Chains A and B, each alone.
Chain A
Amino acid sequence: MKRLIFYVKLYPYFVSRSVQARMTYKADFNLGVLASMLMQALGFVFIWAVFREVPEMNGWTFDQMMFVYGMSAICLGLNEFLFAGTWAVGGYVQEGSLDRLLLRPVSTMFSVMAADVTLHGIGSAIFGLVICVVSLVNLQLELTLVTLLFWIVAMVCGTLVYFAINMICATLAFWITDTGSAMMLLQNVSEFSKYPTAIYQRFLQIILSFVIPFAFTSYYPSVFVLGMSHNPIYWLGTILAAVVLVLLSVLFWRYALSKYQSAGG
Chain B
Amino acid sequence: MIKVQNLSKDYVVKLKEKGLKGMAKSLIHTEKKIVHAVQNVNFSIGEGELVGYIGPNGAGKSTTIKMLCGILQPTGGSVSVCGITPSKNRIQNALNVGAVFGQKTQLWWDLPVRETFELLKRMYSIPDAVYQKNMKDFTEYLELTGFVDQPVRQLSLGQRMRCEIAASLLHSPKVLYLDEPTIGLDINVKIKMREFIKRINAERGVTIILTTHDLQDIEELAKRIIVINHGTVGFDGSMKELAARYAGGQHTVSFTLDDEVETIMLPEGMQGHYSLKKDGYHVTITHDAALPASDIITAVVTQYHISDIDIKGPQIEDVVLEVYQQ
- Report B-chain residues with C-beta under 8 Å of the C-beta of A100: 101, 104-106
Q: A9 → chain B, closest Cβ, in Å?
A: 8
A97 touches B91 (CB 8 A): no
Q: Bound state CA distance, A24 and B115, in angstroms?
A: 14
The verdict on B12 contacting chain A, using a C-beta distance below 8 Å, is yes
A102 touches B111 (CB 8 A): no
Q: B113 → chain A, closest Cβ, in Å?
A: 13
The verdict on B291 contacting chain A, using a C-beta distance below 8 Å, is no
Q: B8 → chain A, closest Cβ, in Å?
A: 14
Q: A1 → chain B, closest Cβ, in Å?
A: 16
A21 touches B62 (CB 8 A): no
A265 touches B103 (CB 8 A): yes
Name the CB-closest residue of B to A21: B110
B55-98 with Cβ < 8 A to chain A: 58, 62, 66, 69-73, 90-92, 94-95
B103 touches A21 (CB 8 A): no
Q: Bound state CA distance, A107 and B106, in angstroms?
A: 16
Q: Are A17 and B95 CB-contacts (below 8 A) given A99-B71, A104-B123, A262-B71?
A: no
- Report B-chain residues with C-beta under 8 Å of the C-beta of A41: none
Contact with A along B274-299 (1 / 0, CB 8 A): 00000000000000000000000000
Q: Bound state CA distance, A106 and B108, in angstroms?
A: 16
Q: Are A262 and B72 CB-contacts (below 8 A) given A21-B110, A24-B151?
A: yes
Q: Select one of B69, B70, B95, B104 contacting A97, CB under 8 A.
A: B104
The verdict on B324 contacting chain A, using a C-beta distance below 8 Å, is no
- Report A-chain residues with C-beta under 8 Å of the C-beta of B62: 264-265
The verdict on B304 contacting chain A, using a C-beta distance below 8 Å, is no
B104 touches A258 (CB 8 A): no
- Report B-chain residues with C-beta under 8 Å of the C-beta of A6: 125
Q: B286 → chain A, closest Cβ, in Å?
A: 34
The verdict on B122 contacting chain A, using a C-beta distance below 8 Å, is yes
A105 touches B94 (CB 8 A): yes
Q: Bound state CA distance, A262 and B62, in angstroms?
A: 10
B72 touches A261 (CB 8 A): yes
The verdict on B43 contacting chain A, using a C-beta distance below 8 Å, is no
B66 touches A262 (CB 8 A): yes
Q: Bound state CA distance, A264 and B13, in angstroms?
A: 11
The verdict on A10 contacting chain B, using a C-beta distance below 8 Å, is yes
- Report B-chain residues with C-beta under 8 Å of the C-beta of A255: none
Q: Bound state CA distance, A99 and B179, in angstroms?
A: 13
The verdict on B119 contacting chain A, using a C-beta distance below 8 Å, is yes
Q: Select one of B66, B103, B115, B123 contacting A105, CB under 8 A.
A: B123
B108 touches A102 (CB 8 A): no
Name the CB-closest residue of A to B120: A104
- Report A-chain residues with C-beta under 8 Å of the C-beta of B91: 105-107
A105 touches B110 (CB 8 A): no
A20 touches B106 (CB 8 A): no
A102 touches B104 (CB 8 A): no
B110 touches A102 (CB 8 A): no
The verdict on A210 contacting chain B, using a C-beta distance below 8 Å, is no
- Report B-chain residues with C-beta under 8 Å of the C-beta of A20: 111, 115
- Report B-chain residues with C-beta under 8 Å of the C-beta of A265: 62, 103
- Report A-chain residues with C-beta under 8 Å of the C-beta of B319: none
Q: Bound state CA distance, A105 and B109, in angstroms?
A: 20
The verdict on B99 contacting chain A, using a C-beta distance below 8 Å, is yes
A10 touches B11 (CB 8 A): no
Q: Select one of B11, B92, B106, B111 contacting A103, CB under 8 A.
A: B106
Q: Are A99 and B66 CB-contacts (below 8 A) given A13-B119, A24-B151, A105-B124?
A: yes
The verdict on A14 contacting chain B, using a C-beta distance below 8 Å, is yes
Q: B168 → chain A, closest Cβ, in Å?
A: 9
- Report B-chain residues with C-beta under 8 Å of the C-beta of A261: 11-12, 72
Q: Select one of B99, B122, B151 contacting A13, CB under 8 A.
A: B122
- Report A-chain residues with C-beta under 8 Å of the C-beta of B69: 99, 102-103
Q: B104 → chain A, closest Cβ, in Å?
A: 6
A103 touches B122 (CB 8 A): no
B104 touches A99 (CB 8 A): yes
Q: Chain B CB within 10 Å — which of A96, A100, A262, A265 has the most?
A: A265
Name the CB-closest residue of A to B9: A261
A17 touches B71 (CB 8 A): no
- Report A-chain residues with C-beta under 8 Å of the C-beta of B104: 96-97, 99-100
Q: Chain B CB within 10 Å — which of A14, A100, A103 has the most?
A: A103
Q: Chain B CB within 10 Å — which of A13, A100, A104, A105 has the most?
A: A105
Top 10 A-B pairs ranked by shortest CB distance? Answer: A21-B110, A105-B94, A102-B71, A105-B95, A105-B91, A99-B71, A21-B111, A265-B62, A103-B99, A100-B106
Q: Can you show 12 pairs from A to B with CB atoms below 8 A apart?
A: A6-B125, A10-B123, A17-B108, A20-B111, A22-B110, A96-B104, A97-B104, A99-B66, A99-B104, A102-B71, A105-B91, A261-B72
Apart from A17-B115, A20-B111, A102-B90, 10 more pairs, CB < 8 Å: A6-B125, A10-B123, A20-B115, A21-B110, A22-B110, A100-B106, A102-B70, A107-B91, A261-B72, A262-B71
Instruction: Give residues in A with beta carbon < 8 Å to B.
Output: 6, 10, 13-14, 17, 20-22, 24, 96-97, 99-100, 102-107, 258, 261-262, 264-265
